[in-house]
A and B are shown apart, each in its own frame.
Chain A
Amino acid sequence: KAGVTQTPRYLIKTRGQQVTLSCSPISGHRSVSWYQQTPGQGLQFLFEYFSETQRNKGNFPGRFSGRQFSNSRSEMNVSTLELGDSALYLCASSLGGTYNSPLHFGNGTRLTVT
Chain B
Amino acid sequence: QQQVKQSPQSLIVQKGGISIINCAYENTAFDYFPWYQQFPGKGPALLIAIRPDVSEKKEGRFTISFNKSAKQFSLHIMDSQPGDSATYFCAASLTGANNLFFGTGTRLTVIP
With contacts A42-B105, A107-B41 known, is A31 near B98, CB below 8 A? yes
**A58 interfacial by beta-carbon distance below 8 Å:** yes
State which size class the interface on A falls in. 20 to 34
- Let me know if B96 and A102 touch, CB within 8 A: no
Contact of A102 among B31, B49, B97, B99 (CB under 8 A): B49
What separation, in Å, do the CA atoms of A105 and B32 have in the docked complex?
A: 18
Residues of B within 8 A of A33 (CB): 98-99
CB of A87, distance to nearest CB on chain B (Å): 13
State which size class the interface on B falls in. 20 to 34
- Let me know if A99 and B49 touch, CB within 8 A: no
With contacts A99-B97, A100-B32 known, is A105 near B102, CB below 8 A? no
Main secondary structure of the interface of A (DSSP, over half): strand
Could you list which residues of chain A lie within 8 angstroms of chain B, going by C-beta atoms? 4, 31, 33, 35, 42-45, 48, 55-56, 58, 90, 92, 94, 96, 99-108
Could you list which residues of chain B lie within 8 angstroms of chain A, going by C-beta atoms? 31-32, 34, 36, 41-46, 49, 89, 91, 93, 95-105
What are 8 residue pairs bridging A and B, where the CB atoms are less than 8 Å apart in the complex? A33-B98, A43-B89, A94-B98, A99-B95, A99-B98, A102-B34, A103-B46, A107-B43
